[in-house]
Amino acid sequence: MIDLFTFDTPNGRKIGVALEEMGLPYRVRVVDITKGEQPAPDFLRISPNSRIPAIVDPEGPGGKPVSVFESGAILLYLAEKTGRFMPRDLAGRIPVWEWLMWQMGGFGPMLGQVHAYLQVADEADRRHPLARYQTETHRLYGVLDRRLAGRDFVATEGEPSIADFAILGWAWRHERHRVDLGAYPNVQAWYQRMMARPGVQRGFAVPMRRAEAG
Ligand SMILES: N[C@@H](CCC(=O)N[C@@H](CS)C(=O)NCC(=O)O)C(=O)O
């Protein structure tokens, strides 16, 4: 069984969604980033960047255990392992790589900065960075909206790919970065399509926080 080191965040959720969609058995190992649990030596051995998510697969290449950190690398590994949600032909794989990297490099880091600066109380401190990251966030939603015109999925036909799971993890937090999906109708339709999938619903429902005592 795969151990998923995670928390209830966009990058954590995208792996839960992928594992559910792939039907792989896994166990959630909560790393509570609100309590600073990432630097624990055992976790750093698995995730040297001290961030969630990370996985340990006891049945990795050659039947040997393997750990993987960075959510994009984890998605690629799981797609390789299962042969699911990644086209087999090179021409089909290229757009999946492109849109996965687009998410990892932009549609995540930029949105996360909006989350961070919205928490800064001092208006003078946050005005310029918040405006910058919000502008970039809207630009990225616009890019995604144009890509999804006339398409069901971001990089594939007929079935989603790991790129959809990656992007969905962040779109799931659209209210938190204050984006009205109604302004991006193709994104909104895609979001509803993805959220209607039973595997996706399970991926967002699985507990990724510890129940608070008392
Ligand atoms: N590029 C990394 C980013 C991982 C990341 O930033 N994870 C956040 C939660 S979404 C985290 O662990 N934050 C804890 C911290 O900042 O110390 C990935 O996609 O896996």
Mean pLDDT in residue range 106-124? 97
In degrees and rounded to multiples of 5, residue 30 shows phi and psi of: -70, 125
193, burial (CB in 10 Å: exposed 0-12, middle 13-18, buried 19+): middle
Distance from C-alpha of 196 to C-alpha of 107, rounded to nearest angstrom: 22
In the DSSP assignment, the letter for residue 119 is T
Count of other CB atoms within 10 angstroms of residue 65? 11
Task: Give tens-digit pLDDT for 143-152.
Answer: 999 999 999 9
| Alpha carbon distances (Å) from 192 to 58, 140, 152, 181, 187 | 35, 19, 11, 10, 9
Atom in ligand 1 nearest the alpha carbon of residue 36? 17
What's the chain's average pLDDT? Answer: 96
What is the share, in percent, of the chain residues with pLDDT greater than 90? 95
Ligand 1: residue of 9, 11, 29, 43 to mutate (most ligand atoms within 8 A of CB) is 11
Give the pLDDT confidence score for residue 142 in this predicted structure: 98
Tell me, in angstroms, the distance from the centre of ligand 1 to residue 158's CA: 31
**Does pLDDT of 214 surpass 60?**
no
Ligand 1: residue of 6, 15, 51 to mutate (most ligand atoms within 8 A of CB) is 51
Determine which residue's CA is closest to atom 11 belonging to ligand 1: 51
Determine which residue's CA is closest to atom 12 belonging to ligand 1: 51
Distance from C-alpha of 171 to C-alpha of 176, rounded to nearest angstrom: 10
Give the pLDDT confidence score for residue 88 in this predicted structure: 97
Task: Give tens-digit pLDDT for 122-133.
Answer: 999 999 999 999
* Locus of tokens 């790919």: 161
The pair of structure tokens assigned to 186 is: 């193709």
Atom in ligand 1 nearest the alpha carbon of residue 12? 10
Task: Give tens-digit pLDDT for 46-93.
Answer: 999 999 999 999 999 999 999 999 999 999 999 999 999 999 999 999
pTM over 0.95: yes
Which residues form the pocket of ligand 1, taking CB atoms under 6 Å from any ligand atom? 9-12, 33, 38, 51-53, 70-71
Mean pLDDT in residue range 156-183? 98
Count of other CB atoms within 10 angstroms of residue 161? 25
Give the pLDDT confidence score for residue 40 in this predicted structure: 87
